[in-house]
Structure 1
Amino acid sequence: MQRSLADSRVKFRHLQCFLAVAQFGGVQKAAESLSITQPAVSKTVAELEAILGVKLFERGRHGAVTTREGQLFMPHASACVSALRQGVDLLARAEGAASATLEIGVLPTVASALVPPVLKMFAAQWPRVIVRLATGANSELLERLKAGSIEFAVGRLADPERMVGLSFEQLFNEPLIAVVRAGHPLAASAGLPAALLEGFTVVVPPFGTLIRQSADSLLAAWGVPPLSAFVEMLSVSTGRALALENDAVWFVPRSAVEYELAHGMLVRLPLPFAGTGEPVGLIRRSDTQPSPVGFALIDALRTVARQRMAATAVAAAPAKTQKRRRKPFEAIPRNVFKDRARK
């Protein structure tokens, strides 16, 4: 088929259905996300395959998997949809009659601390924008980003094979800590032997996530033997409830519990070994550019991230400064002051 003829026959609905099936790996979930029927999705994808003259999906018992041709076509379909959305956003801001829409993804463990100040700053510049915020595991956000269902994500740097076609810009480091409720038996334990962990529910991030690796490292450094029972999850609200109501020991990124720590609801366990901070950053597709609305939100993200890093540095500085100043003072013999007093 001639390219010009194919170009004229490919419609926006074709691209929408193609990207939805590619993202969700099946017709049913794609239909639900688009609020249309399964037969309509199947028919639209079949039309697109007929127009292009290639097979875009291998269909089987486990859903729909993109073919080599589908993988080649996906970034261009996504770029086309993204470009159209950018144009709509520009008109929405110029006319002031319609709201622009921005779809982004954020890790649930950093969303509660990061999203409120970012959206507050963003709304001052773009007051008429619908922000659709998707939260999920890092791997899920990367798949959504590649499929074009979100414009960018705030997540963690993944393995190289998962980052193909994506760029990562570090915003800040996020340490993993262990927290319990205020008044918890472990909170007042001096030295905190690993054996004291027995008898309490342990809540850790899901297996396969980067922060789970940090949790395992902390437990190993603490001398805790392999756990025979624990709870795996990313839900911040459920983790908070387990810590407050069930006396659970919760391994969680610090930003997820900043409010609870500041208000004394949760306290940080004095572990004998501190975990290293995991980088959290802005993840974007390499083959597309954010919309004007997206750029504005990215600028707000960068500003808030710089403020967080500066606040962390200021909070840590007094203790170090005090320590540096104390040493030379204490090193002065007491008789020196007595001699000065006599003079």
Structure 2
Amino acid sequence: MEELPGTDALPDPALSRLRLRHLTCFVAIAEERTLAGAAVRLGLSQPAVSKTLAELELVAGRRLVDRGRSGAALTDAGTRFLRHALEVTGAMASASQALVRESAPGVAPLRIGALPTVAGGVLARALARLHRERPHAWVQVVSAANPELVAALTAGRIDCAIGRMAEPSTMRGISFELLYTESLAVVARPGHPLAAAGADRPTDPAALRGYPLLVPESGTAPRLQADALLRSIGPGTATRCTETQSLTVARAVAVQSDAVWITSRHAVRLDVEQGWLTALDVPVPQNAEPVGILRRSRARPTDLAEEVFELIRASI
């Protein structure tokens, strides 16, 4: 019987049935360690994730993931396969970014989340430098509280975040790189009576009692720090404040009145450097909150992400 030409080059039967969605789903399961977590990250139902995994294991001819009450764990075969799956999905991501750059020169999308105090401080400084060097870089900034940032990062709605460490149970598959520890600042408009009064010596916190106070929202990390200062000002002070997470609102009130703003030091660094606000020499609690870069452990950052990370580090 005559052989068909090119028989040696016929595709591997497994390769012809393998799809990118199989690899993407498998990587998500490996990183999230639960099918439910992978479903949230991929925006799919859990049955759809289970079906896709079953298809992949049928193609592989062996079990790749052991499912149990404690979650999903890779088998030895799954562990070996993961390395190749990451290489393929990483290559596809790079190819996609290259196509975007080819179709729109200078465009490299990056979705980055940040705490409100970080978005208007450290991140803003880094982005200002980025746009001087790459005017057409495409960056989407999401400002939210830390739990929302961690959830968005886990689900793949953002690529990275500048935030705080969260409970270990919510940090699975997420790495944390410490950037700095955040302390409090007490600021007011230039020419504020307390600025002149405290020129030669620290201002007694009790002196703040006679002025309106702007503080972070209750339940946030900066507010927990601020509460210790509020207690030193006097009893009942915490119930006579304006609470806001908006830097825009707090800044506008502070520059137009005698209100004193208690907030994270990095959030008002630019304001003080530019002379829009004055730092008051008020003793503040020394406990500091760690702030850093959050990203998915196994995800390869894009060139733009790496550039932004470097700019953020340089902005501290």
Per-residue deviation, residues 199-230 of structure 1 (Å, max 9, x unmatched): 5332222222222221122333x343242232
Corresponding residue of 2:309: 298
Q: Which runs of 5+ in 2 are unaligned?
A: 1-13, 29-35, 55-67, 74-81
Corresponding residue of 1:138: 146
Residues 1-343 of structure 1 correspond to what in structure 2 (within 5 A)?
8=19, 10=21, 22=40, 45=45, 48=48, 51-52=51-52, 84-93=92-101, 97=105, 99-123=107-131, 128-190=136-198, 192-220=203-231, 222-226=232-236, 227-273=238-284, 275-302=286-313, 304-305=314-315, 308=316
Q: What is the identity percentage for the equivalent residue pairs of Structure 1 and Structure 2?
A: 32
Larger helix fraction of residues: 1
Say if 1:10 and 1:48, in contact at 8 Å, map to a contact too: no
Secondary structure at the residue paired with 1:129? coil
1:19 Cα shift? 9.1
Pick which of 88-97 and 290-299 moved more.
Answer: 88-97
CA pair 21-219 structure 1, distance change in 2 beyond 3 A: farther
What letter is aligned with 1:242? V
Say if 2:109 and 2:138, in contact at 8 Å, map to a contact too: yes
Secondary structure at the residue paired with 1:100? coil
Pick which of 186-195 and 151-160 moved more.
Answer: 186-195
Q: How many residues align structurally?
A: 264
1:292 Cα shift? 2.8
| C-alpha separation in 1, matches of 2:107 and 2:297 | 27
Say if 1:137 and 1:234, in contact at 8 Å, map to a contact too: no
CA pair 273-106 structure 1, distance change in 2 beyond 3 A: closer
Say if 1:217 and 1:275, in contact at 8 Å, map to a contact too: no
The alignment yields a C-alpha RMSD, in angstroms, of 4.1
Say if 1:187 and 1:269, in contact at 8 Å, map to a contact too: yes
| C-alpha separation in 2, matches of 1:102 and 1:9 | 22
The TM-score with structure 1 as length reference comes to: 0.61
Q: Which runs of 5+ in 1 are unaligned?
A: 24-29, 31-40, 55-67, 309-343
